[in-house]
Structure 1
Amino acid sequence: MALSECRMRIVGILVVLGALLLATGCMNEQSDGLADPIDESISRLSFYTEDLPPFNYQENGTLKGISIDLLEAVTERMGQRVSWDQVQLVSWTDAYQAGLVGPDTVIFMTGRVPQREALFQWAGPIYTNHNVLFARPDQSITITGPEDLKEYRIGVIADDITVQQLLDLGVGADQLVQETSPAALIAMLESGAIDLFGYSEVTGRYMIEKETGDYYAFSVVYTLPSLEGYYAFSKDVPESTVRSFQQALDALRTERDGAGLTPYDRIVRRYIPLTESGMRPQDLEAFVRNASAYAAVTGEKAALAEFQQKDGNFSLGNLYIYAYDYQGTLLAHPYQSNLVGTDRTNWTDARGLPFVRVSEFTALNGGGYIAYLYPAPEGGVIDEKALDTYQPKIGYVAPVDEHWWIGSGMYFSDMVQAGTGRPEAVSRMIALVEDAARYGQTQGAAAAFAEISNKTGRFVDAEGHYLYAYDYEGTLLAHPHLPELIGTSLIGRTDPFGMENIRALSDTARNRGGYVVFIWPNPERENREELKIGYVLPVDEEWWVGSGVYLSEITGTDSTTLFS
């Protein structure tokens, strides 16, 4: 089954970042970059792999993928090209056992960990993989650390590296349900026979879509440490053959053409057309989490240098990585190099949201989604002083270590919903505000206040979105859920970060209206404070109306920080 174009773009964000880790000093120290002219022993080897798209998979009877094409290129450079039809596609359990037993066997992709080090000879790395634990969204499973895993039944592929990763975290062997097929585990997760499914995030998403029809049918509730994938040679293969293979692979990753691309880059791009458009919040999360893994592997100095590049691998137009330390100092930003090194602790967006402090709090609590207003790059420049250019962004932030964190964001126009250029929930909310403003102008204030305050009226929709009305001094005039506060001035109300949100909403309405991102109690989450994307419009010179959508409605996940 071929990967769809949309899914390939999404997978590309994960895979290309994984590939970047390989170009940062991960080469074999013994390699000199020059392969032996001809190594005839390669023709005696048997090659085994599994169905692991987009790295190795079968399409229309042909075995293809990044690792297959890379194998062909490496062995051609060695003088004995191995083509796809010489590779056997089997279950991972069968491939792994073949590699252990030999003779003259190569298996891939194999996670290289200490427990396996002495079992094989190694050539690579090929890519950096990220294994995760999937769960059904309706189970509302929250995993904050390894200790939370002890109460769950976890499905895994037999002999897959995820088994060892979970055992290393203290998961009991009796908790693991081992199968040889991802499809079997997906069915067990759907039926409730297991609580969690441990697998590669990239391939897991593909398999989930293949079995359920929904790429996001399951949620990622925990991310395991990243691993590098290798070609694993059985112990009897001559060391000279493995060394020659490694040298050829290193050369493919280091020799650049006139466009600055290596043969390895071109193989990856053959399968992964990377772009920032058509993203979902989950893709943004994966982009940031993988960038965080990249930073952890390469080190702070190298990662910040890469994040700073406008034409770097982490800058894709509107999609880019920025970095801060936990004292509010900007460490990297491809469009704000003049601000790098400055203290941005108290910087606010155009409506007053303390973006840096909100983001830092979120990163300190393990990372999560945020929302804010920010200008889009124009001609390679971002002008924060141009207040009329600010647009809503959905962001994601993640810690790198105890010293610094990173983030990224996507504008509504970058998201997958077509037509309006914004998420459907936001479009419905804006329509509600526009309807109320017209109603107030045609029916008068008294009728509008009564209808807005009516819990079953026209201004409370099926999803529970409602309206509120204030005068420009911050006095509440109408609200379906706060009747006891009507007539009270809330102009000085502050959120946990000190933002006067009613004042911000009122000032925006006074200036022709628009978006405001603020923090407000969410009644669906026990009235805990959550980021909300609000929209306000003036009705006349005396009062205004507004509504909002909580961030969790847009992201569709619980990975949204609660601030109280």
Structure 2
Amino acid sequence: MTPRVVWILLALLTAAPTWAQTVEPEFRVVTTSFPPFSVEVDGRVRGVAADLVQAVLDDLGVRTPIEVFPWARAYETARRGPQVLIFQIARTAERETQFKWVGEVASYDVHLYRRADRTEIAPAGLADAARWKIGGLLRDVKTTHLQEQGVAVTTYSDEANGLAMLLGGRIDLMPSDRQAMLQRLKLAGLPPDRVVPVLRLDAISGPLYMAFSPDTPDALVQRVRASLDRVRAGHKDGGRS
């Protein structure tokens, strides 16, 4: 082997780690239709949380599309991996070790809602609310919380269906975030006072997150977390629209 060939091989081996660091890692991004946090508009996913996540992807130079599934499928896809980023997901004790948590993407203010004309439904607390028929999204934190408190829940796969069930009298109460309920009513062409909140679910009200499937390398999680911090700082400084 000539000295020139040896020099070329050494140069390639030395450059290899640098090259590897510049390659963008591949990962999927999943969510569910949950206005105003995420919703498909003209083939693009937009919303309070979706826009933030897209800004993070842009900051990283990642061209991964945001995939929209029913919540139960999005949840299982992220839980099983490999290397799947999910948003907007509530962080609970049960889920703590099932995902690798990146950071907050939105706030979450959850109440039980009834039809405005059902004035007889005025629960003093969750135990009292259990006297009525309560609906809940399949595999959702709100449903899980209610069931853990001993409340029977009639499940549905889509919260738009849940609203239809509430308005149609098939359920008496429905848990929902305030912003999400207002947006859902608007999309249905209904006035904002068509339903009213009767009981706040303090235990599950709080931030919503983006999180990775548990098989994701810590270096990737940290990289996306750093990007989220940069994007937030840009928003605060007026550096991003």
Aligned pairs for 1:76-115 within 5 A: 76-78=58-60, 80-82=61-63, 86-115=65-94
SS in structure 2 at match of 1:125 = strand
Q: Cα offset for 1:39?
A: 6.1
Match of 2:139 in 1: 159
**TM-score calculated relative to the size of structure 1:** 0.37
What is the identity, as a one-letter code, of the residue corresponding to 1:117?
A: E
Q: Cα offset for 1:255?
A: 4.7
Q: Distance in 1 between matches of 2:70 and 2:37?
A: 15
1:145 aligns with 2:125: yes
Aligned pairs for 1:23-422 within 5 A: 38=22, 40-41=24-25, 44-78=26-60, 80-82=61-63, 86-140=65-119, 141-168=121-148, 170-172=149-151, 175-211=152-188, 213-225=190-202, 226-255=205-234, 260-261=237-238, 263=240, 266=241
Q: Cα offset for 1:115?
A: 1.1
Greater than 3 Å deviation, 4+ residue runs: 260-263
Q: Cα offset for 1:38?
A: 4.7
Number of positions where the alignment pairs a residue of Structure 1 with one of Structure 2:
218
Contact 2:59 2:231 in 1 (8 A): no
What is the identity, as a one-letter code, of the residue corresponding to 1:160?
A: D
Deviation string, structure 1 residues 512-549 (Cα, Å, up to 9, x no partner): xxxxxxxxxxxxxxxxxxxxxxxxxxxxxxxxxxxxxx
Change in 2 beyond 3 A, CA 1:38/1:132:
farther
Q: Distance in 2 between matches of 1:62 and 1:230?
A: 20
What is the identity, as a one-letter code, of the residue corresponding to 1:146?
A: L
Deviation string, structure 1 residues 151-198 (Cα, Å, up to 9, x no partner): 121111111111123234x242xx201111112211211221111011
Contact 2:48 2:106 in 1 (8 A): no
Structure 2 residue runs of 5 or longer lacking an equivalent are 1-20
Q: Distance in 1 between matches of 2:110 and 2:101?
A: 21
Q: Cα offset for 1:100?
A: 1.4
Contact 2:100 2:221 in 1 (8 A): yes
Q: Cα offset for 1:217?
A: 0.9
Change in 2 beyond 3 A, CA 1:255/1:59:
closer
- State the structure with more CA Rg: 1
Contact 2:105 2:207 in 1 (8 A): yes
Q: Cα offset for 1:57?
A: 0.8
Deviation string, structure 1 residues 34-61 (Cα, Å, up to 9, x no partner): xxx85621xx211111111222111222
Contact 2:165 2:171 in 1 (8 A): yes
Q: Cα offset for 1:82?
A: 3.1
Match of 1:428 in 2: none
Q: Distance in 1 between matches of 2:179 and 2:145?
A: 17
Q: Cα offset for 1:219?
A: 0.7
Q: Distance in 2 between matches of 1:73 and 1:39?
A: 19
Quick one: percent identity of the two aligned structures?
A: 25
Contact 1:256 1:262 in 2 (8 A): yes
Q: Distance in 1 between matches of 2:37 and 2:76?
A: 20
What is the identity, as a one-letter code, of the residue corresponding to 1:76?
A: D
Match of 2:16 in 1: none
Q: Cα offset for 1:88?
A: 1.0
Higher relative contact order (CA 8 A, sep 6+): 2
Q: Structure 1 stretch 232-241 or stretch 145-154: which is displaced more?
A: 145-154
Contact 2:136 2:162 in 1 (8 A): yes
Structure 1 residue runs of 5 or longer lacking an equivalent are 1-36, 267-564
Deviation string, structure 1 residues 255-293 (Cα, Å, up to 9, x no partner): 577xx4364xx4xxxxxxxxxxxxxxxxxxxxxxxxxxx
Deviation string, structure 1 residues 119-172 (Cα, Å, up to 9, x no partner): 10111111211111110122111122222122121111111111123234x242
Q: Distance in 1 between matches of 2:235 and 2:74?
A: 34
What is the identity, as a one-letter code, of the residue corresponding to 1:203?
A: A
What is the identity, as a one-letter code, of the residue corresponding to 1:244?
A: R
Q: Cα offset for 1:224?
A: 1.3
Q: Distance in 1 between matches of 2:180 and 2:104?
A: 18
Change in 2 beyond 3 A, CA 1:101/1:192:
same
Contact 1:149 1:171 in 2 (8 A): no
Q: Distance in 2 between matches of 1:192 and 1:256?
A: 43
Q: Distance in 2 between matches of 1:197 and 1:209?
A: 17
**TM-score calculated relative to the size of structure 2:** 0.83
Q: Distance in 2 between matches of 1:224 and 1:39?
A: 44
RMSD over aligned Cα atoms: 2.0
Contact 1:99 1:233 in 2 (8 A): yes
Q: Distance in 2 between matches of 1:114 and 1:261?
A: 35
Deviation string, structure 1 residues 317-338 (Cα, Å, up to 9, x no partner): xxxxxxxxxxxxxxxxxxxxxx
Q: Distance in 1 between matches of 2:184 and 2:88?
A: 17
Match of 2:3 in 1: none
Q: Distance in 2 between matches of 1:210 and 1:122?
A: 31
Q: Distance in 1 between matches of 2:57 and 2:163?
A: 36
Change in 2 beyond 3 A, CA 1:191/1:59:
same
SS in structure 2 at match of 1:106 = strand
